[in-house]
Amino acid sequence: MLISTKGRYALRVMTDLAGQIPGEYIPLKEIAQRQEISEKYLEAIIKLLVRGGLVTGLRGKGGGYRLTRPPEAYTAGEVLRLTEGSLAPVACLGSDAAPCARAAACLTLPVWQGLDRVIKQYLDGVTIADLLRQASAGNGGVI
């Protein structure tokens, strides 16, 4: 499993929004500048986040984007699944995978199932609020 820049940048957007004044709309241009990410690329990512209900947008003067829930209510797993699709370590465990004809005889399947379980448990156990706390505790500010 390799997390793309889309997934990594989506987490950065979410932590950026979570670090702002709650309820305030933040212009995409400001997020792009703070995160040093192309505004054009962020537009595609923010569309996914809006479509997934993680953020909401407001057009016009005073517009921008904000979280729809408190930072504690989002997990890294939720954000990454939205932007990456499956986080499964092998194709046969993906959410849209067809049943594998070899599953009953596959000696390595338990390894992949165990790894998939560990990945999900870990990513679903880390919230956006946790990431902010780590950064403010002096453990770096870049994701």
Compute the distance between CA of residue 117 and CA of residue 96 in angstroms, rounded to an integer: 17
The residue written with tokens 């212009």 in the block is: 27
**Residue 13: how many CB atoms within 10 A of its CB?**
28
Structure tokens at 84: 């990456």
> Predicted confidence band at 98 (pLDDT cuts at 50, 70, 90)?
confident
Task: Tell me if the pTM is above 0.75.
Answer: yes
Region 56-64 average pLDDT: 92
Backbone angles phi, psi at 53, to 5 degrees: 80, 10
Summarised one tens digit per residue, pLDDT across range 112-121 is 999 999 999 9
Q: How many residues does the chain have?
A: 143
